[in-house]
């Protein structure tokens, strides 16, 4: 079945104990809605609906799945449900909070806390070429606290990118959308096509998936850091393996950022998984260190970043 566009649930639709307000985003595997619970508290609801396997037409509530694609659809639904179960155990301020997950309309739903703010992608586009080193170090050091918690629960994110790093109104980051994480839960049954975002995915996500590990997420963090500096991700890793045209950032942006930060980003982007930082903690240590060895990150900086982000949101 070729990719197609699925119709979202309509505004006002009553989904279990939640009332749909509007669609927030549409991806290849899911639709995310803004909804309200019975107390009127806004939540984000993610609906499992892979557009390569299922089709929901306008006016319908249940997706149509052909007999041919039914095994893959059910397998993905089971993994999505297990993803919700795993993420519900994560209670960390820098990881999106899963509140509930349930089955309805012949598919499954994940209910998450609704966060107010903007994505790092939006911030980068608004401040292209002007994202400060202090901002980069502080935001990523705090975001990596959340990623450490993910890895501590034997999960991988596998889709870290600026659009999945959310900046709350106070400037603190929260890691969103673990849609690719379910691919690691039952890797012995590769029925679903692996999920990745070109430019941000590690080379082992394209092949040699048995080599996946924390270092794979670290490559994606490096690509996200690269986007902060240059405005775009590096050359796709699968293309780099064939013909690597990657230029060290020290040569292209040495006048704008410290050599230590640029070298840290290039370290994360090594094609060899063993040549990258092997743990989030190792990367964090590099991000909080200045060239002179001092500490460049402290909690008080978030007040300044929050004020700057509020100003940014007010202009969008």
How distant, in Å, are the alpha carbons of 139, 150, 218, 220 from that of 197? 21, 19, 14, 9
* 8 DSSP 8-state letter: P
Smallest Cα–Cα separation from 94: which of 49, 144, 51? 144
Q: How much is the pLDDT for 27?
A: 77
Note whether 236 and 133 are within 8 A (CB).
no
Alpha helices in the chain (DSSP H): 70-87, 120-126, 133-152, 214-230, 237-242, 249-253, 259-268, 280-287, 301-314
**Would you state the torsion angle of the CA atoms of residues 270, 275, 276, 281, taken in this order, to the nearest 10 degrees?**
-170
How does pLDDT run across 7-45, given as a tens digit for each residue? 999 999 999 999 999 999 887 788 999 999 999 999 999
Residue 171 clears pLDDT 70, i.e. is over it? yes
296: Cβ contacts below 8 Å, ≥ 6 apart: 134, 137, 288, 289, 290
Residue 60 clears pLDDT 50, i.e. is over it? yes
How does pLDDT run across 214-248, given as a tens digit for each residue? 999 999 999 999 999 999 999 999 999 999 999 99
How far is the C-alpha of 166 from the C-alpha of 93, rounded, in Å? 12
Q: Fold identical between 14-113 and 117-314?
A: no
User: What's the whole-model pTM score?
Assistant: 0.85
Q: Mean per-residue pLDDT for 177-205?
A: 65
For domain 117-314, which architecture applies?
A: Orthogonal Bundle (1.10)
What pLDDT band is residue 5 in, cutting at 50, 70 and 90?
confident
Sign of the C-alpha dihedral, residues 265, 267, 268, 270? positive
* Poorest-pLDDT segment among 146-155, 173-182, 205-214: 173-182
Q: How much is the pLDDT for 26?
A: 83
SS3 state at 121: helix
Q: Mean per-residue pLDDT for 280-307?
A: 66
What pLDDT band is residue 88 in, cutting at 50, 70 and 90?
confident
Note whether 220 and 202 are within 8 A (CB).
yes
* 163 DSSP 8-state letter: G
Q: How much is the pLDDT for 299?
A: 46
How far is the C-alpha of 212 from the C-alpha of 231, rounded, in Å? 27
64-65 and 42-48 beta bridge pairing: unpaired
What pLDDT band is residue 305 in, cutting at 50, 70 and 90?
low
Note whether 182 and 200 are within 8 A (CB).
no
Q: How much is the pLDDT for 296?
A: 53
Smallest Cα–Cα separation from 27: which of 51, 63, 62? 51
Note whether 93 and 282 are within 8 A (CB).
no
Smallest Cα–Cα separation from 105: which of 71, 66, 74, 60? 60
How far is the C-alpha of 125 from the C-alpha of 121, rounded, in Å? 6
How does pLDDT run across 106-160, given as a tens digit for each residue? 999 999 999 899 999 999 999 988 999 999 999 999 999 999 999 998 888 888 9
* Poorest-pLDDT segment among 93-102, 133-142, 281-290, 300-309: 300-309
How far is the C-alpha of 209 from the C-alpha of 276, rounded, in Å? 17
- Return the CATH superfamily for domain 14-113: Phosphorylase Kinase; domain 1 (3.30.200.20)
Mean pLDDT across the chain: 86
Residue 94 clears pLDDT 50, i.e. is over it? yes
Give the pair of three-digit tokens for residue 187. Answer: 């890797």
What pLDDT band is residue 63 in, cutting at 50, 70 and 90?
very high
List the chain domain ranges.
14-113, 117-314
How far is the C-alpha of 214 from the C-alpha of 275, rounded, in Å? 13
How far is the C-alpha of 223 from the C-alpha of 231, rounded, in Å? 11
How far is the C-alpha of 231 from the C-alpha of 124, rounded, in Å? 6
Q: How much is the pLDDT for 193?
A: 56
């Amino acid at each position: 079945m070729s990719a197609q566009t699925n119709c979202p649930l309509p505004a006002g639709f009553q989904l279990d104990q939640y009332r749909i307000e509007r669609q927030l985003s549409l991806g290849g595997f899911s639709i995310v809605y803004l909804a309200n619970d019975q107390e009127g508290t806004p939540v984000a609801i993610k609906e499992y609906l892979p557009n390569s396997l299922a089709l929901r037409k306008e006016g319908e509530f249940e997706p149509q799945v052909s007999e041919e694609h039914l095994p893959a659809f059910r397998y993905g639904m089971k993994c999505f449900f297990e993803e919700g179960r795993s993420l519900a155990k994560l209670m960390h301020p820098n990881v999106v909070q899963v509140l509930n997950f349930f089955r309805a309309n012949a598919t499954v739903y994940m209910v998450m806390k609704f966060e107010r703010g903007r994505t790092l992608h939006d911030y980068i586009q608004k401040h292209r070429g002007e994202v400060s080193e202090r901002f980069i170090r502080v935001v990523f050091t705090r975001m990596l606290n959340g990623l450490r918690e993910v890895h501590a629960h034997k999960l991988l994110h596998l889709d870290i990118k600026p659009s999945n790093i959310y900046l709350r109104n106070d400037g603190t980051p929260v890691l969103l959308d673990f849609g690719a994480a379910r691919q690691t839960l039952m890797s012995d049954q590769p029925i679903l096509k692996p999920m990745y975002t070109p430019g941000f995915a590690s080379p082992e996500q394209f092949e040699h998936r048995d080599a996946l590990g924390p270092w794979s997420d670290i490559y994606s963090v490096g690509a996200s850091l690269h986007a902060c500096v240059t405005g775009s991700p590096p050359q796709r890793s699968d293309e780099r393996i064939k013909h690597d045209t990657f230029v060290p950032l020290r040569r292209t942006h040495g006048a704008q950022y410290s050599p230590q930060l640029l070298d840290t980003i290039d370290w994360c982007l090594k094609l060899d998984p063993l040549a990258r930082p092997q743990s989030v903690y190792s990367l964090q240590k590099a991000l909080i260190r200045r060239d002179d060895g001092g500490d460049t990150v402290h909690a008080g900086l978030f007040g300044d970043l929050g004020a700057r982000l509020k100003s940014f949101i007010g202009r969008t």
